[in-house]
Every structure is written in structure tokens, then in C-alpha cells.
Amino acid sequence: MTTNAASGRRLTALALAQVVAWGVLYYAILVAAPIIAADTGWDDGAVFFAITLGLLMSAACAIPVGRWLDRRPRRVMVISAVVATGAIAAAAAAPTIWTFTAAWIACGAAQSGVLYQAAFTVITHRYLAKRRGPLTLVTLAGGLASTIFAPLTGWLVLEFGWRTAFGCLALIMACILLPVYAITIEKSWPHISSQTQEDEAAPQVLRSARFWLLAASFALMSFSLYAVTLAAVPAVVEKGLDLQTSAWVLGMIGAGQVLGRLLYLVIPHTAAPWIAPTLVGLVGAGLLAAFGFASGVGAIIAAGVAVGAVRGALTLVQASAVADRWGARSYGKLNGVLAAPITALTALAPGTAALIAATLGSYASMAFAMAGVCALGGVLAIRR
């Protein structure tokens, strides 16, 4: 049993690793993608397609990686960190769009073993019933990733070029993720005494309608919230504001996520597990509709922050969903299955949002449609 001080150091290290992992593997490429396309002559769409393929690969790997995290967390996370570092370095040196895409697919495979899925599995097994505070701390730290790495990536790319920038980011990741995971992550979990016991309950849960309705609930809520928030810039420009103001709205949505994660702590610990996701779905639906209706800078920013808060709270509600209902023993395996469709739909959300907006005639109409999807997700969570 670790002391409180040692446990606190491990949690701090894990939070730091999440800042770096999210900053390098997710936000850096979003900042650098247009410059990569301009520098190499590769098509913009091809670069973003490579990023989407990486996210879809992360979704595909979520299931086996989740199962392995229940068994050998340190080994899985160290190997994933090595693969991620190598993939970023390979992307930096890629001579063609095909090798760049292959590198980003490898990066996506590694994401499932270093981002929130892995961190949530470690926290759930390590802290068990006391996981609520640590989960909140780690996601709050993860929320700082864009604040730190978006401007850092932009500066590196402009000063040294995107290839050197990604080489530096790979070095940062190697210097932080590898030692943190190698030193602070447990080799195995003492409360999982045997693989036979670990696997007894999971197949039964995976055969239950309750699990799949819950998975559908989270997938619908995540898709709707990400579709609207990731399309915030064109949606706000459509409302008549300039590009710079639209970018500020997007930034405030990110700030709202931090607020939502703090509000998550207010939900009573004794509340039935279905209450939090149902509230997220129904409140989120109302706020998505409000974002669609909003006009004027103040109203748009307020609606954006509120939607961001719901999206931030959803991250933590999802993180606790499996353990709240079925305990911690097979958390990694079950959470991996739960996360796979969510990750896949999130990867497809930006393109789908643009398609829906074009079909319905406006981004405001798309927001109204997504409000209905979010409400359906909340209803599916009732008593699940």
C-alpha cells in the first residue's frame, strides 16, 4: 500500500503525462496541419484524412488495449509511449503523404494506451471507490494541454519548420511519458487475483442490453456535443462575427470544459449512476439549441461556455460509468469496449457536422438537430 505522499506524486506525474500526451498527440497536429499541407504540397484534405484515420485506429485498438490494461498496465503504457514517440518522429521525417498517413495510424494505435482511456483505467484500479477526485484532477490537467501545446506548437512550427517542431515534440514526449509510465505505473493490480476471476463477469456484462444501451447513450451525447463544438468557428462566422472572434468562442468552449469538470464534483456521491448521464444529455440538448439560437457576441460566448461545460462533465461521467455499475475488476476491458464507438463517432463528428449543415442549410439547423440527438442519448441513459 502506497503512502498518501507517494500516491500524490504518482497522481501528479500521471496528470503531467496527460498534458504532454494530449498536447503532442492530439492538439499539435490540429495546429500544424495547414502548415504541413502548405509546406509539402500535400492536399489539405489528405492531411486531415490521415488524422481521422489515426483516431479511428485509436477506436479500433481501444478494446484489446483496455483488456491488456487490466492485466499489465505498466507494460501496455510504456510500449504505447514508445510507439507514439516513434510515430511522431516518423511523421516528422515522412517524405510522402502515404508514409505520413502510416505514421499517424501508428500514432492512433498508441493513443489508446497513453490518453484518457489508459489514465482512467489506472485511476479506477488504483483508487477504487476514491477515484472521483483523482479522475477530476487528471482531466483538469488534460484540459490544459491545448492551452500549453497549441501556442508552443505554433511557435516551433513558425520558428523552425514543422518537421523540426515535431522532432522536438517527440523528444518532449520521450523525456516525460516514458519515465513517468515506467516508474509510477503499477505492474499489475492486487485486487485482480487471477485472470479467470477477472474474466468471469465481463462477458456477461458485454452480453447485456444494459451495457449496449449505455454505450449508445454516451456515443450519441459525445457525437452531438463534439459535432457542434468542433464546428464552432464556421458556425459563429455564419452568425456574422469575424474569424478572430470565432476563434475566441472556440477557446472559451475549451475553458468551459474545465468548469464542467469542476461542477462534476458537485453531483452527490450517493446519486444513482443514471442521474449524471441523463442530466448531461438533457441539459446538453437545451444548451445546444441555445447555441443555435444565440446571436450577438455575449450570448454566443455564454452559450459556447455552457456547451463546453457539458462536454467537460461528460468526460468524467463516462470515465465513471463502468465502475459505478459493474465495479473495477474488468474496468479496462469494459471501458475499452464502451470507448470504441465513442472515439470513432468523435473522429467523424467534424466532417459529419459540415455535411449535416450543408444538407439542412445552416450550422444553426445542425445544432438543433444535434440537440435532438443529445436528448435521445440522455433518455437512453435513464436507469442504465
With helix as H, strand as E and coil as C, how does the chain read? CCCHHHHHHHHHHHHHHHHHHHHHHHHHHHHHHHHHHHHHCCCHHHHHHHHHHHHHHHHHHHHHHHHHHHHCHHHHHHHHHHHHHHHHHHHHHCCCHHHHHHHHHHHHHHHCCCCHHHHHHHHHHHHHHHCHHHHHHHHHHHHCHHHHHHHHHHHHHHHHCHHHHHHHHHHHHHHHHHHHHHHHCCCCCCCCCCHHHHHHHHHHHHCCHHHHHHHHHHHHHHHHHHHHHHCHHHHHHHCCCCHHHHHHHHHHHHHHHHHHHHHHCCCCCCCCCCHHHHHHHHHHHHHHHHHHHCCCHHHHHHHHHHHHHHHHHHHHHHHHHHHHHHCCCCHHHHHHHHHHHHHHHHHHHHHHHHHHHHHHCCHHHHHHHHHHHHHHHHHHCCCC
Q: Given this model, what pLDDT does residue 196 score?
A: 46
Look at residue 200 in the predicted model and tell me its pLDDT. Answer: 63
How far is C-alpha 11 from the chain's CA centre?
A: 19
Asked if 57 contacts 154 with a C-beta cutoff of 8 angstroms, the reply is: no
* CB neighbour list of residue 340: distance below 8 Å, 6 or more residues apart: 59, 60, 62, 63
Residue type, 374: C
Q: Is the pTM of this model over 0.85?
A: no
CA 140 to each of CA 134, 160, 176, 259, 321: distance values in angstroms, whole numbers, following the listed order: 10, 30, 18, 9, 18
| Dist. CA 236–CA 246, nearest whole Å | 6
CA distance 354 to 41: 24
| Residue 105, C-alpha cell as written in the block | 495510424
pLDDT for 1 equals 44
In a structure prediction context, what are the per-residue pLDDT tens digits for the chain, which is 384 residues long? 446 777 788 999 999 999 999 989 988 887 788 889 889 999 878 888 898 899 899 989 988 998 899 888 999 999 999 999 999 999 999 999 999 999 999 999 999 999 988 998 999 888 887 888 888 888 888 877 877 887 888 889 889 999 999 999 999 999 999 999 999 998 888 776 544 444 567 788 888 899 999 999 999 999 999 999 888 888 888 898 886 787 778 778 877 888 888 777 766 667 788 888 999 999 999 999 999 999 988 999 999 999 999 998 998 899 888 888 888 788 888 888 898 899 888 888 888 888 899 899 999 999 999 999 999 999 999 977
Task: Give the distance, in angstroms, between the CA of residue 139 and the centroid of all CA atoms in the same chain.
Answer: 9
Give the pLDDT of residue 102. Answer: 96
Nine cell digits for residue 158: 513558425
User: In angstroms, rounded to a whole number, what is the distance separating the alpha carbons of residues 356 and 352?
Assistant: 6
Whether residue 10 contacts residue 184, with contact meaning beta carbons closer than 8 Å, is answered with: yes
Residue 31: the pLDDT is: 79
72 is written with which cell numbers?
A: 499489465
d(CA 291, CA 252): 13
pLDDT at res. 193:
54
Terminal CA-CA length for the chain: 34
**CB-CB contact of 36 with 321 (8 Å):** no
Q: What is the pLDDT of residue 97?
A: 95
Phi then psi dihedrals of residue 86, to 5 deg: -65, -35
Sign of the alpha-carbon dihedral angle for 65, 70, 76, 77 = positive
